[in-house]
Structure 1
Amino acid sequence: MRPLRRRRLLSGRRHRRPDAPAAPSPPRTSRRGVMLAVQLLVLVLLASLTARMWYMQVPMAEHYQELALASHTQKLIQPALRGRIVDAQGRPLVTNRTELTVTADYHALLERDDDGTAVLRKVAELIDRPFAKLRDRVRLCGPETGQPCWQGSPYQPIPLAENVAPKVALQIMERQNEFPGISAQQMAVREYPNDELAAQVLGYLQPITQEEFEAREELRAEFSGVDRVGRDGVEAVYDDRLRGDSGERILSVSSQGDVRGTLSRTPSEPGMHLVTSIDTEVQKVTEDALRGAVDKARSQGKPVDSGAAVVLDVRTGRVVAMASLPDYDPEVWNGGIDAGTYDKLLSEDAGEPLISRALQGQFPPGSTFKPTTLAAAVKNGASLDGSYSCPGSIGLAGRSWQNFAGGGYGTIDLRKSIVVSCNTVYYQLGYDMWRDSRGEKGRDPVSAMAHSFGYGAPTGVDLPHESSGRIPDRQWKRQYWLDTREHSCKMAEKGYPEVAKEDPGHAAYLKRLAREQCRSGDRWTAGDAINRAIGQGDVQVTPLQLARAYAAIANGGTVYEPRVGRALLSADGERVEEIEPVKAGELPVEDRTLKYIQRALTQVPKEGTASGAFGDFPQGKVSVAGKTGTATTQGRADSSWFASYAPADDPQFAVVAMVPQAGTGGSTAAPLVREIYEGIYGFSDGGEPALSSGAPPTALPSVREDGSIAPPDDH
């Protein structure tokens, strides 16, 4: 029995029990039929696929090749000619010139065995430029590509060098076999016929950055990479109108990048010309006067580092001239600016010439702020007919407040307080208004009046990067305290050991101030109000803000948003789009008070603090109204202001000048403003008036049939 069982286990077969039913087996004919059907189906499918492939590759090959070529296209942007910028008389401020530019065809270089390296080396030697720079210029920008690189279309000519000599361009064009993929063509660039005149107002152009392309997809439909965009001044603000509408060519391109033909072409439309309210001659007079005042102050040993002057049309708020020093030549941007030049434009040692002090510089206005305080005091209840004490010093809020140079004038009226610029009268007015409003939350007559004059907020001028200035009040004081409390408390504990080495007394004073600021710096004190009343303390204004405020005094109370843009003219002259003046508000000052201030300002150049500068000025021909200002800033010398308008009996212009660290308003800024008026009206020896009519033109320049720009009809 055991041997038999072993054999069964080794065989691996399980025997059916005698009583188990037998399993049915499938018919052999059924399985063969299924296999034959599957094999037949596979053969049919293979035959059909083979036939289709043969049909597409042989009889239809040419047809599908044409379709493939037709469906692969590239759009080539054709930049429009940028519009010119002209002054109010139609004289050119910014124009276009054509210059020879060496360009490279990206695909032609790529087809070379060395990717165009040898060709680029020949070009670099011919035009005397570093090979590495040319190689960088033809690199296509990408996510991991560093700058510089080409951010435009690879189907667009890539500029390698601008403003090349004609003989160099001729060599390239005549020896094309030596310079495959390289060409020379004319391109338009900006030209400044008046050199650095009004540089900060006009602005400059720069290429579009890769970041801008990535952030704004719509730019790809407008820019080729060859053309540039406005980066500052009116070039930036009116960029979309100056730029015009780009044209385009749709190219048929093979998968290898070869151009097969042009499918369609849309011509470009030139940009519109911008007519500004700037008068070239008045701008020249203003810049020359400012430069002369700065040079004179420096020759006297004063640490003058900058300056600004503004001329506004008081009837409209338009900017007739705007000067700022230091300035720069905008030609430096053409052809790309090098790192050294750009760093110098931003350098403090060079005076940061990119910054316009006229609309970005913020300074205490000094006594030029007094008409605002006077208007606030009268609105608060002070009498225009009253008498006011003007001692050499006055005790208020626990300390003594000094008049300028310690002089006093006894009992005077408010008119004389403006004429002789009596500080002690305004100290008292500021203190009285602070005391009257202490218990009334939010009430602040001076702050409210200052904001209505346009201080403490941007003017809305059509120029970028404008500063807002500052009118200190309770709200500002508390926010400033919250922002600086941590630092103040730290300095109150640490002190100023570095200062103490040179001046222990000043270090102790700074530590005491820090302790007070840490403990109760959020309180709006009587001292804050007293300082603000004469335009000192934390008050800051821009020259443009001050000019706008005096223009409002001159025109009867209308506050305008200043404008540089006057109109836009199409290249053919068919379309004219005027840029209308914008009223920002009205002064909340009664007519009697406003006329009182006007009469007081008229006397300042005749018998007041500006009489030294205007002593022999022909007031019988043109009467000037104005106010001097001498602003004090801790750690700096006094800054000089003069704010004015003329003619006093029929105002046309508001003129403001500011020269930091140049001394009193009567010694530097007032003579500067006088020189501007002399230039405008032709009072200087043998001089012709900058404005023959004595006022800005009311009509617009026009475009002649030949494309040149004619002066206005009332020229």
Structure 2
Amino acid sequence: MTVALFFLFLILFLTYRLADIQLISTTSFSKYQVNLIQESVDQRTHRFTINDGRGYFLDRDGELLSTDVRAQVIVFPNLYSSRWPIESVASILNLPTSNFTKKISELKKPSVLTLPKEISIEQMNEINKLEIPGLYAQLVTKRNLTPFANHILGAVGQDPDLIKRKYEDKLKKGTVTLHTKTGKNGMQYTFDPFLISEGETEYIYHVDRQGQPLFGLDVKFRSQSNPLYPLHVKTTLDKNMQEAVEETLDAHGVAEGGAVLIDIETNELLAMSSRPLFSSKTIYKHVDHMTSQQIPGSVFKIVTAAAAIEENKIQNNKLYNCNLNIYGKKDERQLGMLNIENSFTQSCNKTFGDLANELQKTDLEYMEKYAEKLGLLTHNGWQGKVYHLESFSHFYKEEVGQIYSSKKKSSDYKSPLATSQTAIGQLDVKVTPLAVANMMATIARGGVSYEVKSAKSVNFANGTELIKFEDHEKEGEKLSPYTVMRLQSLLMNVVKDEKGTAHALQALPFQVAGKSGTAQKGGDHRFNNKWFAGYFPAEKPRYALVIIDLKHDTVNRTIPVFRDIATEIMRETDS
């Protein structure tokens, strides 16, 4: 009896399971909400995607970024027959007939034919005139596996949960599926609402259980119904300058760090690169070092100098004992007695520690006040309302800077030593390289600060503008013109003076202004943060450039990297 009941319940369960699959949950089977009907159709469908329908990026001059569009020959091998005019096709492709036949026989599914060289548009049109079922020539769009401008542009991938959460309306309308690719990081993520595919362009045909084409069904061409899509984003990036930055970082062995290059006149991002590059396996573990907090070291002395100038604390005839460090002990560099200007040029820590303590007596919040004026504590990337997106941002997960840690009490920063450490960009001071680059652009421009743009516009497929990103001047207090002028002079002397920490840049055929910095990282004593932040040409500023090496040991890579990038940029500009 027990065995009979067991088999009865088993049969009932299997009957219910079969009914669930065949009749009840055909469009939302299991906790994964699988559409069984669609999956069944997909199993019987062979397809070749010509264009995934996702929007794309252009550089400032209209060149495609991280995407290739090439004329290619697509073959559906199951449709190959003796009726194909093999000789004619081989002649168009400049191939021996036997070679062409062999290439087709090696294909197991719809694929691009591997050819010795890329075909021309003329060859593509000649092949299509033959009207061969199963042989087509098309402009095929291919996304580069390792995207150009890796961190700033970002990558795409499948994320069904994000589709359900973010694009519920599109999912219901059928314009996207759970398999539609979305941005994972970088501008692919921030601009995803404009880039997400509205439908693929593809060749499809249906097959039977054995994989043979169903009789009477031809290969169908399916494309987006809206000719204005896909949209494209015209970025501010300069492809040649971005390549120069990438190649120079690699040539000098910058394993961790990167560079930011800004056009001073327009405050647009021309190039940005972070090392190491991410791969498909490390997208979620990886951060863009250029938009995340880093310890600035002596680059932060610009803030202390600005405060001292603005608060009238500078006396040029007053000398500071630069044979000592901020701990009152003998400094290894033994710089002697220096005034403030020479202290900035040679990067004397003792001077700026003493200055900070003097400033602290009259204004306990001066540090944050002047860091704020120089834009180091706020977002520096373009932000604003775009249609229904209330706080649209050009930069992915951009962090803001900090002077003090929220995990500590304010009393922890009141000692003279803590004040000195903060004044030279140590202790808990952290800023982003993007913010430092924007600070240099602001100083070079005379004190007016703007948000950094990474995109000029979002356009329809025919080039018509959908959105234009206007300039955003940053709000808040600004430094006085006199203070900015003094800062410009200090930054120029760092390079012009033979004892300056960046005097090696004197050899360039144009003048550079800037500030070097070395920051101890605390936890990892093997490496320091090494910076050089500057702008050029100093007498008529056009570019702000920041280099950071987060694994600085005994080799100073930042100055040579700055030199080589600046040289190449000026060559590009003058050519």
Q: TM-score, normalised by structure 1?
A: 0.56
Mind listing any 5+ residue stretches in structure 2 that lack a counterpart? 1-37, 42-48, 77-105, 116-135, 202-223, 383-393
Query: How far 1:586 moved relative to its partner?
Result: 5.9
Q: Does 1:613 align with 2:504?
A: yes
Count of residues paired in the alignment:
446
Which residue, out of 311, 323, 339, partners 1:392?
323
Which residue, out of 600, 611, 632, partners 2:520?
632
**Cα distance change on mapping 1:378 and 1:642 into 2, 3 Å:** same
Residue equivalent to 2:370:
449
What CA distance in whole angstroms lies between the structure 2 residues aligned with 1:550 and 1:467?
18
What CA distance in whole angstroms lies between the structure 2 residues aligned with 1:233 and 1:212?
18
- Retained in 2: the 8 A contact 1:196–1:327? no
CA offsets per residue over residues 427-461 of structure 1, 9 Å max, x none? 10111122334xxxxx4111111122122333235
Query: How far 1:598 moved relative to its partner?
Result: 0.4
Residue equivalent to 1:513:
none
Residue equivalent to 1:407:
334
- Retained in 1: the 8 A contact 2:154–2:188? yes
- Retained in 2: the 8 A contact 1:567–1:579? yes
- Retained in 1: the 8 A contact 2:180–2:197? no
Query: How far 1:268 moved relative to its partner?
Result: 5.7
Q: Percent identity?
A: 24
Residue equivalent to 1:89:
61
Which residue identity lines up with residue 94 of structure 1 in the other structure?
S
Q: Does 1:276 align with 2:276?
A: no
**1:188-587 equivalent positions in 2, closer than 5 A:** 190-192=142-144, 196-210=147-161, 212-213=163-164, 216-220=167-171, 221=173, 222-243=175-196, 245=198, 267=226, 269-294=228-253, 305-328=255-278, 342-343=280-281, 354-360=286-292, 362-383=293-314, 385-393=316-324, 399-400=327-328, 403=331, 405-412=332-339, 414-437=340-363, 443-461=364-382, 462-472=394-404, 476=405, 479-481=406-408, 522=412, 524-575=414-465, 577-585=467-475
Residue equivalent to 1:675:
564
- Retained in 2: the 8 A contact 1:213–1:219? no
Query: How far 1:185 moved relative to its partner?
Result: 12
What CA distance in whole angstroms lies between the structure 1 residues aligned with 2:181 and 2:371?
41
Residue equivalent to 2:98:
none
**Rg: which structure is higher?**
1
CA offsets per residue over residues 274-317 of structure 1, 9 Å max, x none? 1111111111111122122226xxxxxxxxx4121110112222
**SS of the counterpart of 1:572?**
coil
Q: TM-score, normalised by structure 2?
A: 0.68
Which residue identity lines up with residue 264 of structure 2 in the other structure?
V
CA offsets per residue over residues 69-127 of structure 1, 9 Å max, x none? xxxxx9x9x9983333111122221336588699xxxxxxxxxxxxxxxxxxxxxxx98
**SS of the counterpart of 2:258?**
strand
Which residue, out of 637, 655, 671, partners 2:545?
655
What CA distance in whole angstroms lies between the structure 1 residues aligned with 2:501 and 2:425?
18
Query: How far 1:677 moved relative to its partner?
Result: 0.8
What CA distance in whole angstroms lies between the structure 1 residues aligned with 2:513 and 2:541?
9
- Retained in 1: the 8 A contact 2:163–2:178? no
Residue equivalent to 2:96:
none
CA offsets per residue over residues 456-480 of structure 1, 9 Å max, x none? 33323512122223211xxx4xx41
- Retained in 2: the 8 A contact 1:601–1:625? yes
What CA distance in whole angstroms lies between the structure 2 residues aligned with 1:523 and 1:617?
42
CA offsets per residue over residues 498-527 of structure 1, 9 Å max, x none? xxxxxxxxxxxxxxxxxxxxxx97563322
What CA distance in whole angstroms lies between the structure 2 residues aligned with 1:166 and 1:680?
38
What CA distance in whole angstroms lies between the structure 2 residues aligned with 1:285 and 1:215?
37
Which residue identity lines up with residue 83 of structure 1 in the other structure?
G
**SS of the counterpart of 1:456?**
coil
RMSD of aligned alpha carbons: 3.8
Residue equivalent to 1:18:
none
- Retained in 1: the 8 A contact 2:322–2:349? no
Pick the structure with more helix per residue. 1
Residue equivalent to 1:690:
572
**SS of the counterpart of 1:629?**
strand
What CA distance in whole angstroms lies between the structure 2 residues aligned with 1:541 and 1:525?
22
Query: How far 1:680 moved relative to its partner?
Result: 0.9
Which residue identity lines up with residue 95 of structure 1 in the other structure?
T
**SS of the counterpart of 1:651?**
coil
What CA distance in whole angstroms lies between the structure 2 residues aligned with 1:606 and 1:231?
45
**SS of the counterpart of 2:521?**
coil
**SS of the counterpart of 2:376?**
coil
